[in-house]
Amino acid sequence: MKMEGFDEKGMVAENAPQQELPKMAQEGIHAGFPSPATDYMTQAIDLNKELVKHPAATFYGRVVGDSMIDAGVEEGDILVIDKSLEAQDGDMAVCFVDGEFTLKHLRFHEGGLTLVPANERYPSIEIGEGSDFMMWGVVTYVIKRIR
Amino acid sequence: MFALVDCNNFFVSCERVFRPDLEGKAVVVLSNNDGCVVSRSNESKAMGIKMGVPFYQVKHFVDEGKLHAFSSNYALYGDLSSRVMSLLADAVPKIEIYSIDEAFLHLDGIDPETVPQLCADLVAKIRKWVGVPVSIGVAPTKTLAKIASHFAKKYKGYKGVCMMDTDAKRLKALELTPIDEVWGIGRRLAPKMLEKNVRTALDFVQRPCEWVASNFNINTVRTWEELRGRVCHEEEREERRKSICTSRSFADMIEDERELVLRVSDFAAMCAQKLREEGSAAYDVTTFMYTNRFRDDLAQYFPSVTIRLDVAANSAQEIVGAALKAFRTIFRQGYKYKKAGVIVSNIIASDAIQASIFDFDDELRQKHDRLSKVMDAVNSAAEASGSASGRSMLRLATQRPGHYADGIRSDFRSRLYSTSLDDIIEIH
């Protein structure tokens, strides 16, 4: 197959008139012709798809207070919480301790687990056996309103 | 084989997802208008609080700090329900959503050896991902699967999954099941059974078929057959099913969710129109989708979900609503769909429509009947006195979708944790 402005391989011919170049070619992407990429060109970015990997397990929470301020998490921020993820050392997680939800970094060690705030004015919380504690979900994104 | 997945004390469990401090405590959820108890935690059951009891009779427990009561929060329960259903739809090829907290999984075509692990994984996954506990009963028929799920729920040793996969287990379970707990018998037929010395499900299946047929109707015979392990419920529905299917293959494969929503809505609206044309209404609405099975190079997906309506319907609003609910349960990004369709089935004549919401509980049902009589009386009195609103002075909340919040009591409603950004949990 040969079309005007394209050579036998579907590449843009050297003598093709500039104004007739398809957009893809102008941007230097050397795809075959017809380009399989055109199938995807109408899909706008969908933040739901990007921020929510497991819709059945994703919940949101709002930050109150400044216990994670040094990690850049401020009052009013919205947290994307994925309950499906296995908690790992260093994760920022929503935990339920002493009757309220609290946001902390998880530090696993041989004796158990420490919940570490990102603000020196707050104490770490040691989780031992028999503690009234629940790891509720792992934070995957923090959404901030700027204006 | 069928599996019945049943969410344990569902409304209470939904509240506990966002109130982990209430684990292990006595909790109840109240009906519309805070009228009576419709969901109970195991702890409140142990306190002797019965299903359907008017709230004022147990309110003193709340005042004494022994019981937590919530008004119903259907937005929350509906959202968590669809999360559970979508995890089920991911796990097996065909599910039938039976109510907000129950679904049948069709296990035909799945290697029986793998079923116990599949079910155990589902129990753990739903608990971790959504936060609600479920019980699963697996058995050769739906009626037996119901019984198996009771055992899964009742005995901790099952860890949420009861497999009724041998005849010995079936007979043992029937022996331990009081006749009034059998699906399809219930409290309505139980007195007659007891009169004839049938106390357990085992007593019942040991009677000859002729005895059942001469004393009860055909539905009870089907229940008897199902308890003996012969699938009947499905066949019965297939026979009666005059189903209506509207589906199309697409000229181009469709990947876009919005586009599919439009197509599915059209198919559902066409089904509803056909129902109205022939003066009938349907209980079941199924949405299915196919990818192109001739394209080996593309990911394949053939999901199907059935929604069982509480009341048979033929309005576009209800049929489309159910079809889209089914669609949202099964739709997955990243597949190219070649065909989709909507099936309405379990069809009855529309003049035979009756509310079955309260079927599970005769007491509630009688209350409902009394309510209808009161409404009719008030409405005809209003009509007689020449009131402007006339016949429709009193209506059921469900007769005006979207407006029923006016004037309804919900003093103890929890927040819309998962459906309103203003109501999400606060994290310190």
Active-site residue identified among A104, A124, A131, A144: A104
Which residues in chain B have Cβ-Cβ distances shorter than 8 Å to A134?
Answer: 20
How distant is the alpha carbon of residue B425 from its chain centre?
28
Per CATH, which fold does B243-392 belong to?
Dna Ligase; domain 1 (3.30.1490)
| CB atoms near residue A44 (< 10 Å) | 4
Give the pLDDT of residue A20: 42
Tell me how close the Cα of A102 comes to any Cα of chain B, in angstroms: 5
Q: Is A99 on the interface with B (CB under 8 A)?
A: yes
Concatenating the DSSP letter of every residue in B216-235 gives S-HHHHHHHHHHTT---HHH
Say if residues B334 and B298 touch (Cβ distance below 8 Å).
Answer: no
Residue B36's identity, in one-letter code, is C
3-class state of residue B130 by DSSP: coil
Q: How many Cβ contacts (< 8 angstroms) between chains A and B?
A: 63
> Judging by DSSP bridges, how do beta strands B2-7 and A92-97 pair with one another?
unpaired
Report chain B's C-alpha Rg in angstroms. Answer: 23
Query: DSSP label at B426?
Result: E
Give φ, ψ of A111 to 5 degrees: -75, -10
ipTM: 0.74
User: Residue A13's pLDDT band (boundaries 50, 70, 90)?
Assistant: very low
Per-residue pLDDT of B168-215, as tens digits, reads: 999 999 999 999 999 988 888 999 999 999 999 999 999 999 999 999
Per-residue pLDDT of B30-53, as tens digits, reads: 987 888 999 999 999 999 999 989
pLDDT exceeds 90 at position B104: yes
Tell me how close the Cα of B283 comes to any Cα of chain A, in angstroms: 27
Q: How far apart are the first and last CA of chain B?
A: 48
Q: Is A67 on the interface with B (CB under 8 A)?
A: yes
Q: How far apart are the first and last CA of chain A?
A: 54
Compute the distance between CA of residue B397 and CA of residue B401 in angstroms, rounded to an integer. Answer: 7
User: Residue B374's pLDDT band (boundaries 50, 70, 90)?
Assistant: low
Domains with residue ranges and CATH for chain A: 1-45 (no CATH), 55-143 (2.10.109.10)
Residue B68's identity, in one-letter code, is H
Q: Report CB contact under 8 Å: A56, B21.
A: no
Q: Where are the domains of chain B?
A: 9-72, 77-227, 243-392
Compute the distance between CA of residue B41 and CA of residue B49 in angstroms, rounded to an integer. Answer: 10
Q: Is B426 on the interface with A (CB under 8 A)?
A: yes
Which of B40, B31, B33 lies closest to B61, judged by CA?
B40
Q: What CATH number was assigned to the domain covering residues B77-227? A: 3.30.70.270
Per-residue pLDDT of B233-260, as tens digits, reads: 664 444 344 688 888 888 888 999 988 9
Query: DSSP label at A87?
Result: P
Per-residue pLDDT of B329-361, as tens digits, reads: 899 988 999 889 999 988 887 766 554 443 444
Q: Report CB contact under 8 Å: B428, A101.
A: yes
- Mean pLDDT over each residue of chain A, to the nearest integer: 81
Say if residues B197 and B203 touch (Cβ distance below 8 Å).
Answer: yes
Looking at domain B9-72, its CATH architecture is 3-Layer(aba) Sandwich (3.40)
Query: DSSP label at A97?
Result: E
Strand partners, B59: none
User: Residue B370's pLDDT band (boundaries 50, 70, 90)?
Assistant: low
Q: Is A131 a catalytic residue?
A: no
3-class state of residue B38 by DSSP: strand
Least confident among B98-107, B230-239, B278-287, B374-383: B374-383
- pTM, full prediction: 0.72
Compute the distance between CA of residue A104 and CA of residue B113 in angstroms, rounded to an integer. Answer: 42
CA contacts within 13 A on the Cβ side of A60:
20
User: Residue B116's pLDDT band (boundaries 50, 70, 90)?
Assistant: very high
- For residues B385 and A46, the model is more confident at A46
Q: What are the strands of the beta sheet with A58-63, ordered from one edge?
A: A125-127, A112-116, A100-109, A92-97, A133-143, A78-82, A58-63, B425-427
Chain B: residue whose CA lies nearest to A93: B427
